[in-house]
């Protein structure tokens, strides 16, 4: 159930009116529901619990890139989550939020030496390595500081995730991962390196998958490789299937987490029981969007209603720099009036103040609104604030985490002078 519902004709986050949040903290503001984040994580955790004999046989690593606010990371850490990171910055965030390094996996095609050193120093759980040169670099950095690097290879299973091309990552054309046909040879190289400990296998075929079939197909490909590696004496201890299931933006019906995990674990148990006398393999997940996406909205105020020659525009105070997804992927986000009116609706494009025609948040929406009204841009909890920029010297939005009827300010609004505080005039 959505944490954003109308009570007495006012849209609320849990039991707090969004009008109160706007009054207290201003707009544009991201608003997240604590209960919703906790529930969404529990969907994965409970499904894992139902299908593994020992808690250590499954690990959910929240994908930090989807929402990296410290309070969100703190909350998930308290729920027992591990973390999937893609930079040294994300590593430091997780640690600052109280996350445990022993549950961190480090993904990404371009890890720098400094990032490797930092992650090795903190003894993270595993590096998801994406190429042979990266294996060699990691081995060298680990040798320099006298550490062993635990490694999983990100294999590209060449499965079509059937999602937006920009967020589809498992095909041959993709920059990500090691090609399926090169995987065995790459593992052999890794296994021979003195400061690399081969631990696992992973993949990530794409994001916003509504169907689990491509994920299950990818699991089959990984299983095939694990068997082939076992034949060569290379033991794989964990299987990481990558990101989570997609979410509903405009009424799409994604498969439920419970159904997907039931099928995945059934496949894995049948395979282990057939070939490995039931000895479990640790199963790992890197969900982001399905944990936070529908737990957040972007709250914005209508500034002007403008009648164009061909279109009507609702100019709001949030823009593409706050929420990039529409401009970048033509993504659809619901737009809900916070205090609905009964006057006849007019069709508007909802646009921001940024000087780009691509600066729109929603197109052709029937809305009954007036200047000064508040709108909630729905499903904005994932890849919203994390992709925000300061384009047009716009300070990034405030972030609020709602718990019942209490609003916690978890990131204050950036002040304009802070945006150029790191810059200098020349003499």
- Active-site residues, by number, are 355
In angstroms, the CA 325 to CA 318 distance is 13
By CB under 6 A, residue 82 contacts ligand LLP: no
Judged by CB, which is closer to ligand LLP: 91, or 338?
91
Over the window 150 to 169, marking each residue x when it contacts ligand LLP by CB under 6 A and - when it does not, the resulting string is -----------------x--
First vs last Cα of the chain: how many Å apart?
Answer: 59
Stretch that binds ligand LLP, among 8-16, 41-49, 133-141, 285-293 (CB under 6 A): 285-293
By CB under 6 A, residue 388 contacts ligand LLP: no
Judged by CB, which is closer to ligand LLP: 286, or 359?
286
Classified as helix, coil or strand, 124 is: coil
Provide the token pair at 26.
């201003």
Listed as own residue / partner, the contacts of 310-313 with beta carbons closer than 8 Å and 24 or more positions apart are 311/347, 311/348, 311/349, 312/346, 312/347, 312/348, 312/349, 313/348, 313/349, 313/350, 313/351
Among 27, 40, 66, 152, binds ligand LLP (CB under 6 A): 66
By CB under 6 A, residue 333 contacts ligand LLP: no
By CB under 6 A, residue 244 contacts ligand LLP: yes
Provide the token pair at 42.
């529990």
In angstroms, the CA 385 to CA 393 distance is 16
Q: Torsion angle of alpha carbons 91, 387, 290, 104, nearest 10°?
A: -10
Among 103, 111, 204, 394, binds ligand LLP (CB under 6 A): 204
Closest approach, Cβ 247 to ligand LLP, in A, equals 9
Among 243, 254, 337, 352, binds ligand LLP (CB under 6 A): 243
By CB under 6 A, residue 288 contacts ligand LLP: yes
Judged by CB, which is closer to ligand LLP: 81, or 207?
207
Q: How far is CA 58 from CA 55, 248, 280, in A?
A: 6, 26, 10
Closest approach, Cβ 242 to ligand LLP, in A, equals 5
By CB under 6 A, residue 170 contacts ligand LLP: no
Q: How far is CA 270 from CA 199, 202, 274, 275, 288, in A?
A: 22, 20, 6, 9, 28
Over the window 6 to 45, marking each residue x when it contacts ligand LLP by CB under 6 A and - when it does not, the resulting string is ----------------------------------------
CB 83 within 8 A of CB 64: yes
Closest approach, Cβ 124 to ligand LLP, in A, equals 15
- What's the order of all strands across the beta sheet hosting 10-13? 4-7, 10-13, 16-17
**Residue with CB nearest ligand LLP?**
243
Binding site for ligand LLP (CB under 6 A): 63, 66, 84, 107, 167, 204, 207-208, 242-244, 286-290, 325, 329, 383
């Amino acid at each position: 159930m959505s944490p954003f519902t109308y009570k007495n004709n006012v849209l609320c986050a849990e039991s707090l009116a969004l009008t109160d949040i706007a009054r207290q903290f201003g707009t544009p503001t991201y608003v997240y529901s604590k209960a919703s984040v906790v529930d969404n994580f529990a969907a994965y955790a409970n499904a894992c619990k139902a299908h593994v004999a020992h808690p250590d046989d499954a690990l959910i690593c929240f994908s930090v890139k989807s929402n990296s606010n410290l309070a969100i990371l703190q909350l998930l850490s308290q729920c027992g989550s591990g973390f999937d990171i893609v930079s040294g910055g994300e590593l430091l965030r997780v640690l600052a939020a109280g996350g445990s390094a022993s549950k961190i996996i480090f993904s990404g095609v371009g890890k720098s030496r400094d990032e490797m050193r930092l992650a090795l120093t903190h003894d993270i759980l595993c590096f998801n390595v994406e190429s042979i040169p990266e294996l060699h670099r990691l081995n060298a950095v680990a040798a320099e500081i006298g550490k062993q690097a635990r490694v999983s290879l990100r294999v590209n299973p060449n499965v079509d995730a059937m999602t937006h091309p920009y967020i589809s990552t498992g095909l041959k054309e993709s920059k990500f991962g090691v090609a399926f046909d090169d995987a065995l040879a790459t593992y052999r190289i890794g296994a021979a390196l003195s400061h690399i400990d081969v631990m696992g296998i992973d993949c990530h075929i794409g994001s916003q998958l509504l169907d689990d079939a491509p994920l299950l197909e990818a699991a089959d490909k990984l299983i095939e490789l694990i068997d082939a590696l076992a034949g060569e004496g290379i033991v794989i201890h964990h299987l990481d299937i990558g990101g989570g299931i997609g979410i509903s933006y405009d009424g799409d019906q994604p498969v439920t987490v419970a159904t997907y995990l039931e099928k995945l674990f059934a496949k894995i148990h049948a395979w282990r029981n057939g070939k490995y006398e039931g000895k479990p393999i640790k199963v790992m997940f890197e969900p982001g969007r399905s944990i936070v996406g529908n737990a957040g909205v972007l709250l914005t105020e209508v500034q002007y209603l403008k009648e164009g020659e061909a279109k009507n525009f609702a100019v709001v105070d949030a823009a593409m720099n706050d929420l990039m997804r529409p401009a970048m992927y033509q993504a659809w986000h619901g737009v809900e009036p916070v205090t609905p009116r009964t006057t006849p609706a007019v069709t508007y494009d909802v646009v921001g103040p940024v000087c780009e025609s691509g600066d729109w948040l929603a197109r052709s929406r029937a809305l009954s609104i007036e200047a000064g009204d508040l709108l909630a841009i729905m499903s904005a909890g994932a890849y919203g604030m994390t992709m925000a920029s300061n384009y047009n010297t716009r300070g990034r939005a405030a972030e609020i985490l709602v718990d019942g009827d209490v609003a916690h300010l978890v990131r204050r609004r950036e002040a304009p002078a802070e945006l150029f505080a790191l810059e200098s005039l020349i003499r």
